[in-house]
Structure 1
Amino acid sequence: MSKPSPARYRTTNWSNYTASLRKRGSLLILLDKDMTWLAPPDGSPGRPAVFSDAAIQFCLTIKVLFKLPLRRTTGMVASLMKLAKLD
């Protein structure tokens, strides 16, 4: 028993096809400009925390989502902050 041949499609509207390929590769990450990136002073002894819990959670989410090592994640988040002008 042989397999049926796969259907063949012909692209007739190349501008729509190119636009759909561009749209497929787009990525939108919304950053809240009101999010506190730096940790507030807590008054406890020892070294103070540098980043807020929300900022750390955002970085770890990016790390897991894109399967990146930690140093590459920090570089990506730094570039995202430059794009959003949050730093």
Structure 2
Amino acid sequence: MDANTGQIRAALMTHQDVGDGEVLADLLDQIPADTPIDTIGGDGAYDSKPCHAEIAARGAKPSIPPRDGAKPWSESTPGAAWRNEAIDVIEKSSRREWKAASGYHRRSLAETLMYRLKTLTGHSLWAREIGSQAAEVAIRAGVLNRMVALARPQSVRIA
């Protein structure tokens, strides 16, 4: 999701035994490589070396809380500097303070969008074949993007 526009930028239907972090690369592949990405956020499921490597490869900043009990990574590991700093901040203050200071709570925008996507036409898919289900998810995402584009207020800051 693009937090600035409210638009779904990538969607992928997975089987229930596939973890979120396992498909980050597939999601990022749906966004053109020349499209700049400022921040990639997610929950602790994305706190893995492969995910941080994908985020670093896109030149983005992660907004992912380190897992409970996380240990620092070697500085040569992609994303280690950011993650190690987050671990230090959490140890010195608290996870709550880190979330507030890091902007992690913007992730709630994506969670709200996912709720809208799931409730758009019910919590289950109508299609029964895997390919048809993927198409249904893509159609629902397109419908929701159109609704957001039509309903989102255009705000302009006045000095």
The normalised TM-score by structure 1 is 0.37
The normalised TM-score by structure 2 is 0.22
Higher fraction of helix: 2
